[in-house]
Amino acid sequence: MALPTSARYVIIGSGIHGLSTAWNLARDLRSSGRGSGADIVVIDKSGVGAGASGIACGVIRNNYFQPAMRELMAHSVSVWDSDPEAFSYHPVGYMQISHEAMRDDVASIAAQQAAIGYSSTFVEGAAASDSYMKG
């Protein structure tokens, strides 16, 4: 695709940050009546997700201790859940297996996730884990 000779908005980089910026800018332009988003150009030296965004392991980490990160993760999941096909989102679950010394921290994370409405299951002990995994 040839680059236009001019553009009102130019975003450098088509990784997660550049594409998120373009998407949010287009949404804000449309909602405020200041444009359609068609005047946004995203350029990248290689291709979409060709840098660090494309080599991520594909995990949505959900065991943050910091409230702001926990809320950001939950919000991100709700965005991906809103259109899994468009975002190539394939939720398959997440499991954290921890040493007994981390029990209180992991239980605290599970309780805090529940407090913000993020669904997770806290399973404790060998017998309960065996039953849960086989169920």
pLDDT in tens, 58-113: 556 667 778 888 888 888 888 888 988 877 777 777 778 888 899 998 898 889 88
What is the rounded CA–CA span in Å between residue 81 and residue 79? Answer: 5
Give the structural domain span for 112.
Answer: 58-135
| Cut 0.75: pTM above it | no
Which of 22, 6, 19, 26 has its CA nearest to residue 87?
Answer: 19
- On whether the CB atoms of residues 106 and 122 are closer than 8 A, the answer is yes
State whether 71 and 119 are in the same domain. Answer: yes
Q: Are residues 63 and 123 in the same domain?
A: yes
The pLDDT value given to residue 58 = 56
Whether residue 121 is found in the same domain as residue 63: yes
